[in-house]
Chain A
Amino acid sequence: MTISTSDKPFLTRVKESENDHFMQQSVAKAQDAQWDKRTAAREELGNWEQWRDLGEQIRQHVIKYLPDYLEQFSDNVEKKGGHVFFAQTDEQAVNYIKKIAKEKKAHRIVKSKSMVTTEINLDKALLSLPETSLMETDLAEFILQEDNWDEPTHIVFPTLHKNRDQIQKVFNKLGYSGSNDPEEMAKFARKYLREYFMQADLGITGCNFAIADNGMINLVTNEGNADLTMAIPKTQIVVMGMERIVPSLKEAEVLDNMLSRSAVGQKLTSYCSFSGPQVSGESDGPTDFHVVILDNGRSNALGTDFEPVLQCIRCGACLNVCPIYRHIGGHGYGSIYPGPIGAVLSPVLDGYEKFGDLPFASSLCAACTETCPVRIPLHQLLIKHRKVMMDKLKMDHSFNNVLMKGAGVATSSPILFKIALEGAHMGSAPLSKSKETSVDNLFNYGHIEKAPSLASGWTDVRDLARPPKHSDDFRSWYKKHKKEQQEGASHD
């Protein structure tokens, strides 16, 4: 399993992101631009909340009947002369694909963007074959490849962390001598890739949706490279997560519509194709067609609280609204699946040992849940992960764990709370400063600049209001207030 993009501890990654001002600025800029585009595209469609209901229903239905739909899809691919391979693990998937590449004596492999192939680390496995070259043909993935296989930081915009000057430098190594103008650089990449395409003998694509009732593969892209990957090489391998299925073209149409608007704020992407093996009468397309359907931990979610994560259509909208992603970026998560969906999915696929930090790295603001086109309750699933780690696996053995359990006792006991209210002001005396503050009406009873234990996380960043004396607190005021009211009433 290689969804991990870093061996560094979570906090180190967060610190590195904090110092990467360029990354933070480009993520913020992209989030802001996408906010406007996505909102406009959804408003233009109208009735967005009803569309979300429909999207959720379709995805939930598919997950509920997943084995049936997978069987139907597989039968239909085979009817058209294609082959289907079910891979339980990444290793099985990689071995199958290597076997095909060897059998076909493939020397020039073209790939279009696919998170699943990144998940199974397919590129490096194929490059280990003798006399084999491989080219990522999605522009962003191409840049990452040529930049010494840099890791992607976004599931839709893999090079979000790079600017045009950095890309120009990458291209210079390939003989590019032009400016840092994006259009000029894209033209260079197009020509470079086109030459490679013409002699490719094996094409590998991902899959946005697999259509169960006709065995077709639906690809949604903006560059057309996926279509070339499907059209030119005589052998094609599609790699898909096992949940990436829809019953028929009707449901694909609904989801493509929602995917394009959610992912890139477009009505529809430039290319939206449905294809499969070459059938008689056609002049292009693969004559040898394989579909690899991958589990790789996905079935861990089936029948559990985490099943809704399989509804995901990989639009990346949750990354684009996430205030945590805005600051720590893709590399901060240390998974090829970053952002809210990554914080939910990564522990499901690869366990809490590696990704247990991610569900805690959220303020639970629910921006992700609000934007998700298929209504995955992302922030609630983050809480569920926390529950598994704390209640079930008892993973926290620190003093904080004791404190949190204590907080549970204290906040369920009116008597203990009363004692806290009575003693809070005096108890905080040794910590309090009488120093002036620039803030009016928040620190009416003083403030604390350095608190111990759990609260130190608070005062590392901000001042803490000091509790009032018990006689000045809200409950005491209310008691006096009621008494005055009653006295007033009895005088009347």
Chain B
Amino acid sequence: MKVAIFSTCVVDLLFPNVGQAMVEVLERLGCETSLPTNQVCCGQPTYNSGYHKESNKVFYNEIDALLSTDADYIVGPAGSCVAMLRQYPHILKDNPDYSKKAQELADKSYEFSQFVYNILGVVDAGAQLNAVATYHRSCHMTRLLGEKTAPFALLDNVKDLKMVPLPHLENCCGFGGTFSVKEPEISKQMVDEKVDSIISTGAQVLISADASCLMNIGGRFSRRNENIKIMHIAEVLNHNVDASRIRYKNQPTTV
């Protein structure tokens, strides 16, 4: 199965560890990966700020770049950015040049954990992590992409990992893209409540499927001088892997 990596600008700029873990997991699970070099950004920063004229060029570039390979699927390490790709057909529905391409892109784009769980059908990625962790559910992944199950199901099967539920899972962490820089006064109060909720779980590790939320929450942890380890779900699923333990849906457990 051929997979084009939708790396996202945040991972390209700041978090090589996330991209690397995602590629390693996908290849371990039998995917042949490629990285379209002309991709830049899904366009949320400008589109969500109201700069729609400027955003169209960003969309065109991203569509052309991500469709430039013969990949069967396009997989990215961020629920929010993938949700944006899925909105392209709606935004560009009256665009004669791009409406069809936008649909093609949306149809084959998946967030990493969603792809592993729903498309590859993996329930246990064979990973091991000795830690107490909690999971931050990103708003866009949950509400716009509609993926509520995959990350929890995959994390449940990580060996030695104890997942503790996060209170107020439903509340936004206060990132919101440019919201976090334009409205720091409100964003601060939101991320503080999130940090408090995470501390209340006693977790040592905070996991999420969106690097941007982690960058926000982790950045506030650091400013408040509170301890936490930040891990993207791809890093967790890539940790201490015993390939013999990899298990697929509907596959009987072998002892």
Contacts and interface: CB of A to CB of B under 8 A. Distances in A.
Nearest to A479: B35
Instruction: Report which residue of B16, B38, B50, B60 has the largest number of chain A beta carbons within 10 angstroms of its beta carbon.
Output: B50
Interface stretch (B113-121, B149-157, B211-219): B211-219
Interface string B91-111: 000000000000000000000
B152 to A, nearest CB: 18
Given A407-B45, A442-B219, A363 B175 contact: yes
A444 B181 contact: no
Contact of B43 (A11, A411, A444, A481): A411
Contacts of B5: 478
Given A367-B143, A413-B61, A462 B220 contact: yes
A366 B184 CA distance: 19
A14 B186 contact: yes
B54 A405 contact: yes
A482 B20 CA distance: 12
B204 to A, nearest CB: 9
B231 interface: yes
Given A367-B139, A383-B48, A412-B40, A461 B214 contact: no
B76 interface: no
Interface stretch (A219-227, A276-284, A319-327): A319-327
Contacts of A385: 50
B236 to A, nearest CB: 11
A465 interface: yes
B249 interface: no
Interface string B200-233: 0000000000000011101111111111111100
A438 B181 contact: no
B86 interface: no
A405 B178 CA distance: 13
B51 A390 contact: yes
B134 to A, nearest CB: 15
Given A366-B140, A438-B228, A474 B181 contact: no
Contacts of B174: 323, 363
A449 B224 CA distance: 12
A438 B175 CA distance: 20
Contacts, number: 236
Contacts of A475: 7, 12, 35, 37
A468 B17 CA distance: 10
B185 to A, nearest CB: 5
Contact of A474 (B15, B143, B216): B15
B101 to A, nearest CB: 16
A383 B224 CA distance: 32
A35 B183 CA distance: 26
Contacts of A68: none
B179 A362 contact: yes
Interface stretch (A84-92, A131-139, A288-296, A452-460): A452-460
B71 interface: no
B45 A411 contact: yes
Interface of A is mostly: helix
A386 B48 contact: yes
Interface string B225-255: 1111111000100000000000000000000
Interface size class of B (residues with CB under 8 A): 35 or more
Interface in A208-242: none
B180 interface: yes
B172 interface: yes
B65 interface: yes
A388 B143 CA distance: 25
Interface stretch (A121-129, A248-256, A414-422): A414-422
B23 A323 contact: no
B222 A323 contact: no
A387 interface: yes
A245 interface: no
A234 B219 CA distance: 64
A368 to B, nearest CB: 10
Nearest to A465: B14
Given A407-B45, A444-B17, A478-B35, A365 B176 contact: yes
Contact of A327 (B15, B180, B189, B215): B189
A429 B85 CA distance: 33
A192 interface: no
15 contacts: A327-B189, A363-B190, A367-B171, A369-B143, A400-B182, A409-B57, A412-B60, A414-B40, A414-B61, A440-B228, A443-B222, A457-B184, A464-B215, A475-B12, A478-B23
Interface of B: 5, 7, 9, 11-20, 23, 35, 37-41, 43, 45-55, 57-58, 60-61, 65, 139-140, 143-144, 168, 170-172, 174-191, 193, 214-216, 218-231, 235
Given A420-B13, A465-B215, 8 more contacts: A15-B185, A32-B168, A360-B183, A364-B48, A391-B50, A411-B45, A441-B235, A462-B216
